[in-house]
Structure 1
């Protein structure tokens, strides 16, 4: 018995579209490709100071000397002053005052000083970013430091992770919000409107942006 093959379809294949989350708002939604293109075109996206990058590179060598590390940090006196202010704060609870970077390294160790360098460098770098309307940098940093301190405490109590690494992770965990606010203001406005409707930041962001701030 001869069978007749099915005729080939001549219609244009329909594009597969992602199904929006249930309850998603029908407002502004940026496609992933457009999002990435704009991000690639951002010319003034802040970068960490060269001193912070050099410190991180030096500490990949287990045999690096205190002198080499301190000489590198002291190339940027604005970072030095901020580190000493941080080291002498109640956060570290040191009994005696630390007046120089070499003393800080001796008391706190390489990793803690490295994380202090990264912390003040991040704050210094992103402090110049002008966020969009509705975004408070003061509130952002208060939250970031609070999360960092909490993560450091949990690391100390549980010993599941390095307390210093926990502090850095906590400090940086929301940095994508700064970028979203400064360079994608239309998305951030939609997110704020979602918050005003009583939904979470994550849900509002998911409904509007192809990427969340943590990526």
Structure 2
């Protein structure tokens, strides 16, 4: 029974993560498909390139929410369902992978920054806030969303480990999930890293081409 509950929780998290809100919100608001302009990434930053700040904000919030919700549900009721830290880590990773490889959109998704932030907030609210603060700090001073995401991805595992016994108790499965998301975020930003090095990366707020 417990095995089926774990499988259901992970599958549900992946399904929720597979909802590409950049595409859905753009459709509802009569905007171009974000996969057809700018970086062609179905994420909030690229939606912002459409010039519609409201659409970008809604996309950002919903992408974060879909990462947070499954983790929060397991954290709240997992014990009653016989689910432990291992399931918590798997559910968070599944929601994140759903965004990267959405089953409803041909397995071609976004880079996962907002969804990862939501997952981290679900794991530990203070961890999520620390990582978000890192992202905001870099984004404000450099106006490079990609650089901010890269820095946050690198810092997140260290924040989680350093907070052990101070703000939370580290659980190995959660630590592995945080580390895996960090590695995947860096992988998804490989092209951005190359453009940053070449000085060709677009800044936040640049219009679509």
The verdict on a shared fold, with TM-score over 0.5 as the criterion, is no
Taking structure 1 as the reference length, the TM-score comes to: 0.32
Taking structure 2 as the reference length, the TM-score comes to: 0.32
Q: Which has the larger radius of gyration?
A: 1
